[in-house]
Amino acid sequence: MGKEELSKLREQIDKLDKKILELISNRARIALEIGRLKSKDQLNFWDPKREKEIFEHLKSLNKGPLSHQAIFHIFHEIITATREIQHPTKVAFLGPEATFSHMAAIKHFGKTAIFYPLPSIKDVFWEVEKGSYDYGVVPVENSTEGIVAYTLDMFMQSELKVAGEIYLRINHFLAASFKEKEKIKKIYAHPQAVAQCRNWISYHMPNIPIFETSSTALAARKAKEDPEAAAITTKLAAEKADLFILERHLEDFAHNTTRFWIIGHRLPNPTGSDKTSLLFATPDRPGALYKCLKPFAERRVNLSKLESRPMKNLPWHYLFFVDLEGHYTDTPVKEALVELKEVSAYLKLLGSYPKALEEM
């Protein structure tokens, strides 16, 4: 009786799968028509406001048993896959493959986008600026290690804009070509991975020499080739190198997160849940910083980040990096920026973009 019941339930699943496939195909055909209209009107194929509306609508409709997060993942892949048939998206990232930058790019653009690893942050900026790729993905900030200064420096040379942000939880894994931890005689790791796993390493592997590599992916490849070595690497890199995962979550801080920026030529339209990033410098006189911040305080514009960094060409002079709530076209933000331009020595709008799309 149990086998008959199981067989009937599986038949129902097969029928539903057929119906789901038909509906997804119909959705894709409609998306193709939307893509044709966007192409005709020269509109951006990536519309974060529309995607946000879709996810919010699905969240309101979902009655279970699947969680909101599960529904988000399913429909995120459907949306990104249909966007790819509208217009294949070419995304450059700080390589090599299987690094955190690669994982962040996949998280945002889905697995169907076309990804290209490039050797440096400068290369990502240059190639996107030339039009070789639609977007670039570069790290800008880590919750424990701070700002990636080089990314900010590149904006001083580039006209590209920040078109979006991605937050990626940074999890480090100990992986090797064997299953016995006692066999480990050396460890390959990127310097940042070592810095973020100091406590775990000093407690569990205090006498094991560590050899630095240029990436977490290279650490995994070296561990694959060395029968006495392990790697501190990403889960994706371990899988690509066909390594066994010996330990998970080596990072000292459970909420270690890296923020990445999506860089491109266009600024997205406001979504109602946006962030603006900018750089400014103050004149060298008393009260200058106060005067630069006053326009935002008077209009109740929240500055979620204010950080100073030295100007390379002017010793003892500083640039201020700011994140604020809102889009540059919002009236309070727009007015504050006009006033800031009048009282600052330098001002550059890096971008206005939707806040990182939170999983439902």
User: What are the catalytic residues?
Assistant: 258, 260
Cα(242)–Cα(287) distance, integer angstroms: 59
Structure tokens at 94: 């700080």
Sign of CA dihedral 171, 177, 183, 189: negative
Q: Do residues 252 and 198 touch, judged by C-beta distance below 8 A?
A: yes
The residues that bridge with 230 in the sheet, in sequence order, are 176, 187
138: helix, strand or coil: strand
235, containing H or E segment = helix 235-240
Radius of gyration (C-alpha) of the chain in whole angstroms: 24
Q: Do residues 160 and 129 touch, judged by C-beta distance below 8 A?
A: yes
Q: Do residues 103 and 168 touch, judged by C-beta distance below 8 A?
A: yes
Secondary structure E strands in the chain? 90-94, 114-118, 135-142, 146-147, 161-169, 173-176, 186-189, 210-212, 229-233, 244-247, 257-264, 274-281, 303-311, 314-325, 346-354
120: helix, strand or coil: coil
